[in-house]
Amino acid sequence: MNTIKVQSKLLLIILSFYLQATVVTGQSKAKENGYLYNDSHFHLTNYIQEGITAAKFLEIMGDKVGRSTLFGIPLQQQWSYQNSGKFSPSYYLQTDAPLYYYSFTDAYIAMQYKSLTKEQQDRFDPMIIGFNPADMYAYKHIERVLKTFPGVFTGIGEFSIHKEFVSSKVAGEVASLTNPALDSILDFAGKVGLVVVLHNDMDMPMAKPKTEPAYLTQMKDVLKRHPQTTIIWAHIGLGRIVHPVGYGASPDSEIGQRPPNHIDIVKEILEDPALKHVYFDISWDEVAKYIVATPETIKKSADVMNKYSDRFLFGTDVVAPPDQKFYLAVYDMYAPFWKALTPETSEKIRKGNYERLFDSARKKVREWEKINVKN
């Protein structure tokens, strides 16, 4: 009889622990599902390689953001005394001095990631960015970083080819979509399984209406040459003064016809089977500004994203935020746009597409490391 009572008590204790564990697991899943978004585009440091720690960023993310990419900025703004005297510029628009590639950023990001617990690390996807895309040896830098810090990185980027104001300030050879160095980078990324976040303005700054954006054909050619590489085109090809194609144009342009519409160009890319590996992020407050400008722009953007819900990701493009309010501002700008999306599309753009792409990349990169990294 006593044996039966003891067994019953043990059973009740085990059942109690199981129920508690189930509740905790359920709460964790509920909390995870309650996140607002995963961030596909985040800079931990700025143009003078200063910012916040990964631990501080976790505090800022709190229970609002589930996961995030983790990268700095590949370029360092030079402080030229001849140019700005005792004024130390912290942004590329504050001086005429050049920018130069800063490779140490990858080691810094890796060490920030490695300073975290395993549970904390699971919320981040560090990215390699400290390479010169005009250098035929750039892919070797990416390979060395992977071998030096195995188990850390998930992708490469955000790195830039054509970028308003920035490209012309970079010391040395200017990056180009026609440079085979870029092909070697994207080819290597595809072989390893690295996700690529690529910034390339679709057009020149403040371009006049014309039949086609300046860099569109070259960009599509690059993308088509690398069908095995997962590429996220940052900011949908827009910039601070690189407006959406056709923005503000009258029906009768100077070329005698209606210029192309940016949304139509994006739709054409989405519908092309040769570009099914290409995605777009809607990061940056400048992009949000265009999308939520009017009820019409909201509706047109929502129509496209509802139809191609698997091909867009949300990112903030925030740099070293001081607090959560500052960090969430871009997400909040999109409030009317989130309402215009179907619940399923909203969930995919804010969370699901990130998890699908970056989880797949994590697995592929770790498999490559097992084969290629010697202990």
Instruction: Categorize the per-residue pLDDT at 5 as very low, low, confident or very high, splitting at 50, 70 and 90.
Output: low
Residue 20 pLDDT:
44
Q: Is there a domain that residue 25 lies in?
A: no
Q: Is there a domain that residue 10 lies in?
A: no
Residue 11 pLDDT:
47
**CA distances to 11, 134, 211, 265, 283 from 177, in Å:** 67, 9, 20, 19, 22
pLDDT per residue as tens digits for the range 310-368: 999 999 999 999 999 999 999 999 999 999 999 999 999 999 999 999 999 999 999 99
Indicate the range of 91-100, 204-213, 306-315 predicted with least confidence. 204-213
Instruction: Name residues whose C-beta falls within 8 Å of residue 236's C-beta, 6 or more positions apart in sequence.
Output: 262, 266, 280, 281, 282, 287
Q: Which of 72, 71, 29 is nearest to 50 (CA)?
A: 72
Q: Which of 199, 104, 185, 106 is nearest to 146 (CA)?
A: 106
Instruction: Categorize the per-residue pLDDT at 13 as very low, low, confident or very high, splitting at 50, 70 and 90.
Output: very low
Interval 193-214 mean pLDDT: 88
Interval 288-306 mean pLDDT: 95
CATH number at residue 366: 3.20.20.140
> Taking the CB of residue 38, how many other CB atoms lie within 10 A of it?
22
Q: Is there a domain that residue 8 lies in?
A: no
Residue 29 pLDDT:
41
Number of Cα atoms under 13 Å in the Cβ half of residue 371 = 8
How many structural domains compose the chain? 1
Q: Is there a domain that residue 22 lies in?
A: no
pLDDT: is 266 or 252 the higher one? 266
**Amino acid residing at 217:** T
Burial 50-78 (b: 16+ CB within 10 A, else e): ebbebebbbebbeeebbbbbbbbbbbbbb
Residue 242 pLDDT:
82
Spatial distance between the Cα atoms of 151 and 128, rounded to a whole number of angstroms: 13
Q: Is there a domain that residue 274 lies in?
A: yes
Q: Is there a domain that residue 24 lies in?
A: no
Q: Is there a domain that residue 18 lies in?
A: no
Q: Is there a domain that residue 366 lies in?
A: yes
Give the structural domain span for 67: 38-372
What percent of the chain has pLDDT above 90? 78
Structure-token pair, residue 207: 């371009």
Instruction: Name residues whose C-beta falls within 8 Å of residue 336's C-beta, 6 or more positions apart in sequence.
Output: 292, 298
Residue 93 pLDDT:
83
What percent of the chain has pLDDT above 70? 86
Indicate the range of 156-160, 169-173, 313-317, 343-347 predicted with least confidence. 169-173
Interval 3-7 mean pLDDT: 52
pLDDT: is 114 or 14 the higher one? 114
